[in-house]
A and B are shown apart, each in its own frame.
Chain A
Amino acid sequence: MKNKSTLTISLLAIVLGILVGVLIMIATGQNPIALFNALLRGATGIDLMRGTGVNLRYLGEFIVQSMPLILTGLSVAFAYRTGLFNIGAEGQFMVGGCAAISVAILFPMPPVIHMIVAVLAGALAGALWGFLPGFLKSKFNLHEVVICIMMNYIGMYANNYIIVHLPGSTTTITANAPQTASLSSEFLRSITNHSRLNWGIIFLIIAVLAYWFIIEKTSFGYSLRATGFNKDGAQYAGMKVNRNIVYSMMIAGALAGLAGAISVLGTFNYGRVLSAFESYGFDGIAVALTGACNVIGIVLSGLLFGLLKVAQPLLQIVGTPKEIGEIISASIVLFVAMQYGIRIVLNHFKTRKKENRTIDTDQTVSKEGVKS
């Protein structure tokens, strides 16, 4: 019942978000068909306007764009299930990428092992960035949001400092990651018509399964959920609430760090000096909320936001401002955040429908009705 209604809200928010995009396009004299064409083309390469067919490179790039979003979405959601708001995914993402490229460049290792170690180093760095806010929260009750925001800046400037000091770096980027550490895959490239699709997808799949397994199946996940739902209740039951807070933030950080590592070693193949946040972490918040912190929901909403990202340049090609994509993303988040209002409207429609029926055979009364 509860899951069903959150699903309805998410879907409704997406529809409304796209509707807002369409309305704005119409109002500014654009052809809204271009939007749907760009979305379709972004996912498959099919261009109805010019009549091109399926091009798997588009599919590959679409998945590449979605991967970090799904991971940061999982990161935010994981913390959220424990009652924490991980706004620090941004910083965790950056230090994850930084640690991964550092290990790739500084410590030569045999192939495969080098890659795995570099990616895990990224996850570890993210975990450390998550550990600090978690630790300070559990020990001194400092709010994780404040600490996370500060950690984001520390992460960005630490990244920029380290990147330029790595051997072979220019003032803006590092040398390319050595073959042994790179996630790029000839095989995946070849089946997707030379997209940047890379082995990161394996790590992504493992992370998705791990998220589901930990939260739903393990005793650790059980106590995390208990803590998230009712901290006092968990404390009464004898659970280590403070320990859970630290672990939860660390795992959340590791997921975001993994996203950073995959992005650096897979998509770019080099580390970059960042002049501003790239917003992967913040997008993760949107992904987690739209996906209702449910694993399937997060994967789907991650794909949706990824699609909106790849559609932007495609819109620009046909002369439509790419900001439409961002307007839609933002509107979806806005509508998800308005879910309380949406629920009221939905209930209103339900009661209206009920009154219109003459014989009362109603089956859609809210849950509160049954207990009296």
Chain B
Amino acid sequence: MTYAVELLNITKDFPGIRANDNVTVRLKEGTIHALLGENGAGKSTLMSILFGLYQPTSGHIKVNGQEVKINDPNDATALGIGMVHQHFKLIECFTVTENIILGMEPTKYGMVDVKRAAKEIAELSKKFGLNVDPYAKISDITVGMQQRVEILKMLYRNANILIFDEPTAVLTPQEIEDLMQIMRRLVSEGKSILLITHKLKEIKEVADECSVLRRGKYIGTVDVASTTEKEMAEMMVGREVNFKIEKEEKEAGQVVLDVQHLNVKNAKGVLGLKDFSLQVRAGEIVGIAGIDGNGQTELAHALSGLAKAESGTILLNGEDITKATVRQRFDKGMGHIPEDRHKHGLILDFTLKENMIIHEYDRAPYCKGTMIQQKEMDRYAQHLIDEFDVRSGEGIDSLTRSMSGGNQQKAIIAREIDRSPDLLMVVQPTRGLDVGAIEYIHKRIVEERDKGKAVLLISFELDEILGLSDQIVVLFDGHRNGSMKASETNENELGLYMSGSKKGSEQHEE
């Protein structure tokens, strides 16, 4: 068996931290090799070394058996290494073809020959079963399609070694399924794939081998077929992992959130949420299941006050808050863990401590007169990061931008849960996080429910919805499409409601 890529005894030091410690990963030709590790385990550093963004402190890299030195991404490209980044690098207003040829445009009489390129791309697309329209505009196609454009970009540059960095973080369940197919197809056509992920299910499904990193250290490489998910998780986290969310049956209390016939416009100015009604009671978790883009954002924004309701009412503890400001809603007992932690949840250029008082910055004890009380802010932030185990380089003085995604999310959760809101609205709380962080966040959410708080969970992860919720309501095309007890349904049934193949009858609801 020959190896496409060998990273041998790689060590990489940054000031004060050893990001990779004697790591060896060998990708066999024509296979999928998963790189598993929590956030901050050193996966991205290792891939950045392979892609020429960093130079290793020590160790060697071999490509196709030859020892190589990769100084920059151009070297990597020349060696046939391509990477699909977690956040796509595409120009929205360009077509698929224009994006793919960018930087190496084929020309004819000095002019860009888009036609020829489009033809080549169509052929590539067909060969690998990607089904991409070369003339479609990026802004018009789905996230799953955009990812395929990124894949085509690598293929167009004749890459044989493909790196996928957390490719499923942004995809819907169906798109994930499609991506798995594509990856298998790529491998069958002779490509080799390095898959960076912390989703065990996907590794189990598609990878041949799996190397595990933990806090920069190389733990080992296992054969995926003969290793269970639980074993891999334990290698990654370094302790026993509990997949099952511990939750006792509980009688729900009185209605905390009562939404009636809510209509909300989306960013494009058409109704994204239509005649939606919902009740959440004290001591229960209501999960909103649905594929991304079926009205979840509109619902969350209307409830939090970021978007205006066209019609309908929202009652919180019996009080009409339909027209209340964001702040009034917080004051009346709403907590909101937003979908996009970078856009809404944090001011990334603020320090951690500044982010912790974001709702209360102008009130006692954090503000006296007009002055921010630095000591109070420090004390409170320290309390939160101790209590919720938020880790960062410089403690409360860390710039939030420099923190890992998991710790950023933990910081938001600490801030929102510590305010002890009657209604906790949680949107995609574990997107892109690792097993350890997910386990912890789920535990805290269940704790809030057990304390008698009402929890509204909006998530695209079916496992999360099924595991956490007491009641499930399905959103499809902005409508409420069925509701059921979490204990009485399963992934398949939910999938049918979510895709609209099965219609929720009115008797089903309430």
Interface of A with B (CB < 8 Å)? Answer: 2, 217-220, 222-223, 225-226, 229-230, 232-239, 354-355, 360, 363, 365, 367, 369-372
CB-contact partner of B370 in A219, A225, A226, A363, under 8 A: A219
Q: Is B344 engaged at the interface, CB distance under 8 Å to the other chain? A: yes
Q: Is B260 engaged at the interface, CB distance under 8 Å to the other chain? A: no
CB-contact partner of A220 in B46, B48, B347, B370, under 8 A: B370
Cα–Cα, bound, A234→B336 (Å) = 14
Asked whether A219 lies within 8 Å of B15 as measured between CB atoms, the reply is no
**Contacts A234-B347, A354-B55, A371-B402: A218 and B326 contacting too (C-beta < 8 A)?**
no
Asked whether B359 lies within 8 Å of A237 as measured between CB atoms, the reply is yes
Among listed B35-43, B106-114, B262-270, B467-475, interface-contacting one:
B35-43
Asked whether A370 lies within 8 Å of B14 as measured between CB atoms, the reply is yes
Smallest distance from the beta carbon of B246 to chain A beta carbons, Å? Answer: 31
Which residues in B have their C-beta under 8 angstroms from that of A232? 343-344
Instruction: Kindly report which residue of chain B lies nearest to residue A359, judged by CB atoms.
Output: B57
Asked whether B347 lies within 8 Å of A226 as measured between CB atoms, the reply is yes
Asked whether B336 lies within 8 Å of A236 as measured between CB atoms, the reply is yes
**Contacts A234-B347, A360-B13: A226 and B358 contacting too (C-beta < 8 A)?**
yes
CB-contact partner of B14 in A225, A229, A369, under 8 A: A369
Cα–Cα, bound, A340→B466 (Å) = 47
Which residues in B have their C-beta under 8 angstroms from that of A219? 361-362, 366-367, 370-372
Cα–Cα, bound, A236→B13 (Å) = 38
Which residues in B have their C-beta under 8 angstroms from that of A365? 14-15, 54
Q: Which of B44, B304, B336, B343 has the most CB of A within 10 A?
A: B343
Write 6 A-B pairs (CB below 8 A) sorted by A numbering. A220-B370, A225-B347, A235-B306, A371-B44, A371-B404, A372-B40
Smallest distance from the beta carbon of A101 to chain B beta carbons, Å? Answer: 33
Cα–Cα, bound, A363→B15 (Å) = 6
Which residues in A have their C-beta under 8 angstroms from that of B371? 217-219
Cα–Cα, bound, A233→B55 (Å) = 36
Asked whether A238 lies within 8 Å of B41 as measured between CB atoms, the reply is no
Which residues in B have their C-beta under 8 angstroms from that of A217? 371-372
Asked whether B326 lies within 8 Å of A236 as measured between CB atoms, the reply is yes
B343-368 to A contact mask, C-beta < 8 Å, 1/0:
11111111000100011011000110
Q: Is B338 engaged at the interface, CB distance under 8 Å to the other chain? A: yes
Q: Is B65 engaged at the interface, CB distance under 8 Å to the other chain? A: no
Smallest distance from the beta carbon of A345 to chain B beta carbons, Å? Answer: 15
Q: Which of A226, A365, A369 has the most CB of B within 10 A?
A: A369
Which residues in A have their C-beta under 8 angstroms from that of B15? 363, 365, 370
B299-313 residues at the A interface, CB under 8 angstroms: 304-306
Asked whether B19 lies within 8 Å of A369 as measured between CB atoms, the reply is yes
Which residues in A have their C-beta under 8 angstroms from that of B17? 370
**Contacts A238-B325, A360-B13: A372 and B372 contacting too (C-beta < 8 A)?**
no
Q: How large is the interface on B (under 10, 10 to 19, 20 to 34, 35 or more residues)?
A: 35 or more
Smallest distance from the beta carbon of B170 to chain A beta carbons, Å? Answer: 19
Asked whether A372 lies within 8 Å of B348 as measured between CB atoms, the reply is no
Cα–Cα, bound, A355→B372 (Å) = 46
CB-contact partner of A233 in B43, B304, B344, under 8 A: B344
Q: Which of B336, B349, B354, B359 has the most CB of A within 10 A?
A: B349
Cα–Cα, bound, A226→B400 (Å) = 13
Number of A-B residue pairs, CB cutoff 8 Å, is: 100
Cα–Cα, bound, A247→B86 (Å) = 39
Asked whether A229 lies within 8 Å of B349 as measured between CB atoms, the reply is yes
Cα–Cα, bound, A337→B58 (Å) = 38
Cα–Cα, bound, A223→B372 (Å) = 11
Which residues in A have their C-beta under 8 angstroms from that of B336? 236
Interface of B with A (CB < 8 Å)? Answer: 13-17, 19, 40-46, 48, 54-55, 57-58, 304-306, 325-327, 329-330, 336, 338, 343-350, 354, 358-359, 361-362, 366-367, 370-372, 393, 399, 402-404
Instruction: Kindly report which residue of chain A lies nearest to residue B343, judged by CB atoms.
Output: A232
Cα–Cα, bound, A229→B399 (Å) = 13
Which residues in A have their C-beta under 8 angstroms from that of B325? 238
Q: Which of A232, A235, A371 has the most CB of B within 10 A?
A: A371
Which residues in A have their C-beta under 8 angstroms from that of B14? 365, 369-370
Instruction: Kindly report which residue of chain A lies nearest to residue B404, judged by CB atoms.
Output: A371
**Contacts A365-B14, A369-B19: A236 and B370 contacting too (C-beta < 8 A)?**
no
Smallest distance from the beta carbon of A193 to chain B beta carbons, Å? Answer: 42
Apart from A236-B304, A369-B19, A370-B16, what 7 extra A-B contacts exist at CB < 8 Å? A226-B347, A226-B358, A230-B343, A234-B347, A236-B326, A237-B359, A354-B55
Cα–Cα, bound, A220→B362 (Å) = 8
Which residues in B have their C-beta under 8 angstroms from that of A235? 306, 326, 344
Cα–Cα, bound, A371→B19 (Å) = 8
Which residues in B have their C-beta under 8 angstroms from that of A233? 343-347, 358
Cα–Cα, bound, A233→B359 (Å) = 11
Asked whether A360 lies within 8 Å of B347 as measured between CB atoms, the reply is no
Smallest distance from the beta carbon of A123 to chain B beta carbons, Å? Answer: 19
Which residues in A have their C-beta under 8 angstroms from that of B359? 237-238
CB-contact partner of B55 in A226, A229, A239, A355, under 8 A: A355
**Contacts A219-B361, A219-B370: A236 and B349 contacting too (C-beta < 8 A)?**
no
Instruction: Kindly report which residue of chain B lies nearest to residue A360, judged by CB atoms.
Output: B57
**Contacts A219-B367, A223-B362, A365-B14: A238 and B330 contacting too (C-beta < 8 A)?**
yes
Q: Which of A232, A236, A365 has the most CB of B within 10 A?
A: A236
**Contacts A217-B372, A370-B19: A237 and B358 contacting too (C-beta < 8 A)?**
yes
Which residues in B have their C-beta under 8 angstroms from that of A239? 327
Instruction: Kindly report which residue of chain A lies nearest to residue B16, judged by CB atoms.
Output: A370
Cα–Cα, bound, A272→B306 (Å) = 49
CB-contact partner of B347 in A2, A230, A367, A370, under 8 A: A230
**Contacts A236-B338, A370-B14: A222 and B361 contacting too (C-beta < 8 A)?**
yes
Cα–Cα, bound, A222→B329 (Å) = 21
Smallest distance from the beta carbon of A286 to chain B beta carbons, Å? Answer: 24
CB-contact partner of A222 in B42, B344, B354, B393, under 8 A: B354
Which residues in B have their C-beta under 8 angstroms from that of A237? 326, 358-359
Instruction: Kindly report which residue of chain B lies nearest to residue A234, judged by CB atoms.
Output: B347
Smallest distance from the beta carbon of B72 to chain A beta carbons, Å? Answer: 9
Cα–Cα, bound, A218→B367 (Å) = 8
Instruction: Kindly report which residue of chain A lies nearest to residue B47, judged by CB atoms.
Output: A372
Smallest distance from the beta carbon of A144 to chain B beta carbons, Å? Answer: 21
Q: Which of A217, A226, A355 has the most CB of B within 10 A?
A: A226
Which residues in B have their C-beta under 8 angstroms from that of A234? 347
Asked whether A370 lies within 8 Å of B402 as measured between CB atoms, the reply is yes
Cα–Cα, bound, A218→B42 (Å) = 40
Asked whether A372 lies within 8 Å of B361 as measured between CB atoms, the reply is no
Asked whether B43 lies within 8 Å of A372 as measured between CB atoms, the reply is yes
Cα–Cα, bound, A365→B16 (Å) = 11
Asked whether A371 lies within 8 Å of B403 as measured between CB atoms, the reply is yes
Cα–Cα, bound, A249→B116 (Å) = 52
Cα–Cα, bound, A238→B343 (Å) = 14
Smallest distance from the beta carbon of A166 to chain B beta carbons, Å? Answer: 38
Which residues in B have their C-beta under 8 angstroms from that of A363? 15
CB-contact partner of A372 in B42, B55, B304, B346, under 8 A: B42
Asked whether B330 lies within 8 Å of A218 as measured between CB atoms, the reply is no
Smallest distance from the beta carbon of A232 to chain B beta carbons, Å? Answer: 5
Smallest distance from the beta carbon of B244 to chain A beta carbons, Å? Answer: 30
Which residues in B have their C-beta under 8 angstroms from that of A236? 304, 306, 326, 336, 338, 344-345
